[in-house]
Structure 1
Amino acid sequence: MRKWVVTAAVFAGLSGAAGAAVAQDAVSWRMQSLWDANTTPQKFEERFVARVAELTDGNFQIRLFSGGQIVPAAEAFEAVQSGAFEMMKTFDGYEAGTVPAFYFTSTVPFGFETPDQMEAWFYELDGLELARDAYDDYGLHYVAPSVYGEEPIHSTFPIESIADMAGQKGRFVGLAGQVMAAFDVAVTPMATGEVYSALERGVIDFADRGDLTANLEAGLAEVADYVVLPGVHQPVTATAYVANQEAWDALPRSYQAALELAAREVSGALRQHILVQDQIALAEFQDAGIEVLRLDDEDVQAARPTAVEAWRAAAGDDELANRILESQIDFMRQLGLL
């Protein structure tokens, strides 16, 4: 609550006496997102930049580009770091091989069960500060997360327990790949765009890909007869707004607060939208003859100690990764997850 009050108090400077000072500062940024043009998540990034402009009386304009439009997605980290453009929307897990702390600021397999739990870790505990610490050495500033729910598993065979996955070929990436390997899954990393054909050709038996709506639009009902929930490999997802540190430092504090506030508002709006759309997509999968299977809560709980061992192995001897992991584990224990 204290952090929220401080942010609100600073942001109040956008009206009243500070309004005249804000109006003198015209700022223009460029931002590349993760998403393709005209997709649902990209439309929420459009809402984000529009909200920033609204909160600053039109004086802070962000020109939005879709994923890969300025630079290939894999080069966005270095591009923002160098100042080629000012901000990106990213998934920290993409860089986790270099920065192990990013494993845990993006998603924790078998970890937090709801977006509210992970968002509380960011905003009510020390998650936001720890995420910013992880970016400090790279000339980048972690602005805020977008936190939303699970991604399902799509399978060509029935999965009714964690043990059913052992020995089968599954597509997972990042920390999910390491955790699922601990359950004897034959993990096969691949690009998202390859999942459909890999399921169709039997290269893999089951896969993580994206949220239910995205997977429905991608045609996975045509190549996988089962949807498995909860998505234990990615029960909660956090993407991130990340800015060039020098560009961030040059902003008036009221503009920084506008970015933070708009990010938090859009995070909640996107999460609520996905919650509604997931139910619609799930019904459409069932109408197409897809069977929805649900893992037993006790089975998931029993699997967590194995997942914790995989988390610790991923953190290795990295000091910050272990600080983040211990912070999350402490909160999970308070929540009764561990």
Structure 2
Amino acid sequence: MKLLKTVASIAVVAAMAATSAVADGHATTKLRIQTHFSPETLSGKMAAGFIEDVTAMSNGEIAIEMFYSSSVVKSVETFDAAATGILDCDMTGGAYQTGKNPAFQFAGDLNGGYANPYQQMSWLLHGDGYKALNDLYNPYGMEFVGWWIPGPESLVSTAPIRGAEDFKNWKFRSPPGMITNIFKNLGASPIVMDFNEIFTALETGIIDGADAANLTNNIGLGLYDIAKHTNYPGFHSMPADHLACNKDIWDAMPAHHQAILKVGMQALALKNTSINEVENAKNSVSLAAKGVNMYEWPAEETAKYREAVQSAWTDYATTPEAEALLGSHLNFLRGIGAME
């Protein structure tokens, strides 16, 4: 009980420190935010652009100190660090928190549920997305502020991946979480491993392929130097990164600061999706010219994947919060005719 009171006290003090008033009566908000991206990456540069936008829109009333490359705590610990006042906000992703509640999987990636980032952002902006996500986040002492979604990822493989049948006995690097269940349902053999192990595992034949990132980031990882088969456009995974802030700090902000941060995230989302779409399209042309085989799956093949996905959704929705969040997504998708 003492520890709980101490943590609560830290959070209250942090909230008071984060938002204050200067001599002229204008409120100021100071935020310490951690992202897992490095400042040199495209995503890191876009996070810096978000800071510039927020600073300009608030006329300097909101000051953000960004910690890149998970330099304060590990990526998976960022959410708790913000909730307890070590940081103020988390700019990683909800899917890191599935150990708390499997519902966080549906706050990060519906794995094949949405066709593109614009459709998923439509649920957030025009469905009940903000409320549904904060019904999950708020009990953990956090406020969901916004998403930024690069777009569908592309698999890489040393063998053709023309359709679902090619996944039979396919050994590949998989991130943790629901995606492993989906590919097992299709007959594949997922092996969970870190990013820095993928290249060597492909090179030595430990794996046949990888679920790593989109075309642009796969190139950065050097995967197409070994694996000459990929699917584009992607369809299997579309992870969303979030901005989530300590709820006490969020509630202490003036309404116009809250609005600036939400609108800043919406601007970041559009810039992020569009630049990744442009870069992936350019890279699809250059990869094809270099002899990489590009596979665009026909509707009947993606339907097979969607069938496996729906089974995994049901298996993963094991808590009331997960059922509620998944239900919100599915009601929206059915409402716009994107699924039966």
**Common topology (TM > 0.5):** yes
Question: Could you state the TM-score of these two structures normalised by the residue count of structure 1?
Answer: 0.89
Q: Deviations over 1:37-58 (max 9, x none)?
A: 2110011101111111111111
Residue 87 of structure 1 contacts residue 244 of structure 1 at CA under 8 Å; is this kept in 2?
yes
Aligned residue number for residue 100 of structure 1? 102
Q: Secondary structure at the match of 2:79?
A: helix
**Which residue identity lines up with residue 199 of structure 2 in the other structure?**
Y
Aligned residue number for residue 140 of structure 1? 142
Matches of 1:143 and 1:152, distance apart in 2: 27
Match of 2:111 among 105, 109, 112: 109
Aligned residue number for residue 244 of structure 1? 246
- 1:218 maps onto 2:221 in alignment: yes
Aligned residue number for residue 185 of structure 1? 188
**Which residue identity lines up with residue 305 of structure 1 in the other structure?**
E
Deviation of the 1:148 alpha carbon? 3.1
Q: Secondary structure at the match of 1:295?
A: coil
**Which residue identity lines up with residue 190 of structure 1 in the other structure?**
M
Q: Deviations over 1:46-75 (max 9, x none)?
A: 111111111111111101121221222122
Matches of 2:29 and 2:123, distance apart in 1: 32
Equivalences for residues 48-59 of structure 1 within 5 A:
48-59=50-61
Matches of 2:67 and 2:286, distance apart in 1: 31
Q: Report how many residues are paired.
A: 317
**Which residue identity lines up with residue 104 of structure 1 in the other structure?**
F
Residue 172 of structure 2 contacts residue 210 of structure 2 at CA under 8 Å; is this kept in 1?
yes
Aligned residue number for residue 321 of structure 2? 320
Aligned residue number for residue 209 of structure 1? 212
Aligned residue number for residue 331 of structure 1? 332
Matches of 2:156 and 2:23, distance apart in 1: 53
Q: Deviations over 1:157-179 (max 9, x none)?
A: 00111121011112222221221
Matches of 2:308 and 2:75, distance apart in 1: 32
Deviation of the 1:22 alpha carbon? 9.0
Residue 170 of structure 2 contacts residue 208 of structure 2 at CA under 8 Å; is this kept in 1?
yes
Aligned residue number for residue 195 of structure 1? 198
Q: Secondary structure at the match of 2:36?
A: coil
Q: Deviations over 1:229-268 (max 9, x none)?
A: 343320x331110101111111111101110000001100
Residue 79 of structure 2 contacts residue 89 of structure 2 at CA under 8 Å; is this kept in 1?
no
Equivalences for residues 289-328 of structure 1 within 5 A:
289-316=291-318, 318-328=319-329
Residue 164 of structure 2 contacts residue 304 of structure 2 at CA under 8 Å; is this kept in 1?
no
Q: Deviations over 1:181-227 (max 9, x none)?
A: 11121110111221111111111111111121111122111110111
Matches of 1:180 and 1:77, distance apart in 2: 28
Residue 141 of structure 1 contacts residue 244 of structure 1 at CA under 8 Å; is this kept in 2?
yes
Aligned residue number for residue 155 of structure 1? 157
More displaced 10-residue stretch of structure 1: 145-154 or 257-266? 145-154
Equivalences for residues 19-98 of structure 1 within 5 A:
24-98=26-100
Q: Secondary structure at the match of 1:26?
A: strand
**Which residue identity lines up with residue 322 of structure 1 in the other structure?**
E
Aligned residue number for residue 3 of structure 2? none
Aligned residue number for residue 253 of structure 1? 255
Aligned residue number for residue 123 of structure 1? 125
User: Structure 1's 82 and 163: CA in aligned 2 closer, same or farther, altered over 3 A?
Assistant: same
Matches of 1:238 and 1:277, distance apart in 2: 18
Equivalences for residues 261-272 of structure 1 within 5 A:
261-272=263-274
- 1:176 maps onto 2:176 in alignment: no
Q: Deviations over 1:300-322 (max 9, x none)?
A: 12332232111110112x11111
Matches of 1:283 and 1:28, distance apart in 2: 44
Matches of 2:48 and 2:210, distance apart in 1: 30
Q: Secondary structure at the match of 2:166?
A: helix
Aligned residue number for residue 10 of structure 2? none
Residue 233 of structure 2 contacts residue 296 of structure 2 at CA under 8 Å; is this kept in 1?
yes
User: Structure 1's 204 and 252: CA in aligned 2 closer, same or farther, altered over 3 A?
Assistant: same
Matches of 2:317 and 2:185, distance apart in 1: 15
Matches of 1:131 and 1:221, distance apart in 2: 36
Q: Deviations over 1:8-52 (max 9, x none)?
A: xxxxxxxxxxxx999622222111112012110011101111111
Aligned residue number for residue 7 of structure 1? none
Matches of 1:233 and 1:310, distance apart in 2: 13
Deviation of the 1:337 alpha carbon? 2.8
